[in-house]
Amino acid sequence: MWGLKKTSTYTCSSSHCVCVCVYAGPVSVSLPSDMRETSGSRRWRRCERGSSCSPTTSRSSRRRRRRLPPRPVGDDRGEETELLIDHTSSPHLKPTDKVKAEFMEMLSEDGSLTESSQWRKVKGGLERDPRYRAVSGGSSQREEWFLEYVKSSATGSTGKAGTADHQSREREERIQASLKEREREVQMSRSAQEKEWGRERDQLRRSEALQQFKAMLADTIRSTGVPWNDARRQLRQDSRWASMGLLEADEKEKLYQEHCDSLVEKKRLQFRRLLEETSQISLVMPWKKARKLIREDPRYKNFSESDHV
């Protein structure tokens, strides 16, 4: 490309500066094919140089005065210069996302940063770091990223604190639930144990009532010929009858019958012993003759006449 006007362009990226100067005179610059000037652009500039326009005349005014054709899109000389600068300098610059990520990483390495930290006090300790100098947007860009970092860090800390509080509450709830479950188990065990103790007490009281009723029968009922109704009237006169509430009426009658049966068996044994002790009685002796020998003995008198034979 030939015949560029005299111009000077200065681009600064922190400590890395790229200066491109374009001045009068034939300058040979090799541009990519998509950046080269087209024939339409050259015709438009020739028409533009012939117009009587001042440097302050707007581009639209120039078109109206000279009735110039519309300028080709993307054919601005200033844009060509910018494209030239970008083409020559872009290989030396890092992508913005990578620069930001490295800048954020640098901030994360400083463990003293909090939400109340101020950029003007912090930046002095970071200026020597290459990741600090790599930011091309200047101090305003660094401060913007710094504020973004401390805000996100504060949000993350709040989230972690909230998560910690939530976990703490869950742990406390689990502990309380475990304590309640343990208390419920203890109550159930205690209730079951108390029921068992109650059954044992009832059994003990029942056993005591049985023993007392049997003792009362032995002291009161000595004859087997007394009916139960008559025997019950006799038993009610005893003071121990009031404590027999645990025994049912049928059970009392059954115990009375068992007592009478035991009396009969006892008298039978005594009568048999009487027969064995009387040597004059033999197996072939008639009962009438044998009775004369033992009828004066109390064991004979206590035994009923129907049971003698």
CA triple 177-182-188, angle to 5 deg: 125
* pLDDT at residue 41 in the model: 56
* pLDDT at residue 13 in the model: 44
* pLDDT at residue 81 in the model: 42
Q: Give me the sign of the Cα torsion angle 225, 229, 235, 241.
A: positive
- Superfamily grouping for domain 95-196: FF domain (1.10.10.440)
**Residue 256: both structure tokens together:** 């009375």
* pLDDT at residue 40 in the model: 55
* pLDDT at residue 1 in the model: 43
**Residue 79: both structure tokens together:** 């844009």
Residue 77: its H or E element: helix 77-89
State the Cα–Cα distance between residues 14 and 128, nearest whole angstrom: 12
State the Cα–Cα distance between residues 109 and 303, nearest whole angstrom: 115
State the Cα–Cα distance between residues 41 and 75, nearest whole angstrom: 6
Each residue's pLDDT expressed in tens, for the chain with a length of 309 residues = 444 444 444 444 444 444 444 444 444 445 555 555 555 556 556 555 555 555 555 656 655 555 545 555 444 444 444 433 443 344 444 567 888 898 888 888 887 888 788 888 888 888 888 898 888 878 888 888 888 888 887 766 555 555 667 778 888 888 988 898 998 899 888 888 888 888 888 888 888 888 988 998 888 888 877 889 988 898 888 888 888 888 888 988 999 999 988 888 888 888 888 888 888 888 888 888 888 888 788 787 777 554 544
Distances (CA, A) of 196 to 37, 190, 245, 247: 108, 10, 21, 20
51 near 65, Cβ under 8 Å? yes
State the Cα–Cα distance between residues 59 and 292, nearest whole angstrom: 169
* pLDDT at residue 247 in the model: 86
State the Cα–Cα distance between residues 137 and 141, nearest whole angstrom: 5
Distance of CA 33 to the CA centre of its chain: 66
Kindly tell me the burial class for residue 55, based on how many C-beta atoms sit within 10 Å of its own C-beta (0-12, 13-18, 19 or more). exposed
135 near 99, Cβ under 8 Å? yes
User: In 3-state terms, what secondary structure has residue 214?
Assistant: helix
Distance of CA 297 to the CA centre of its chain: 91
State the Cα–Cα distance between residues 22 and 4, nearest whole angstrom: 7
* pLDDT at residue 161 in the model: 55
State the Cα–Cα distance between residues 259 and 286, nearest whole angstrom: 33
- pTM for this entry: 0.38
State the Cα–Cα distance between residues 262 and 269, nearest whole angstrom: 11
**Residue 9: both structure tokens together:** 């362009």
* pLDDT at residue 52 in the model: 52
Kindly tell me the burial class for residue 183, based on how many C-beta atoms sit within 10 Å of its own C-beta (0-12, 13-18, 19 or more). exposed
* pLDDT at residue 7 in the model: 44
Sequence ranges of the chain with CATH classification 1.10.10.440:
95-196
**β-bridge pairing 16-22 and 7-13:** antiparallel
Longest Cα–Cα distance of the chain, Å, equals 182
Summary count for the chain: helices (H), strands (E)? 11, 2
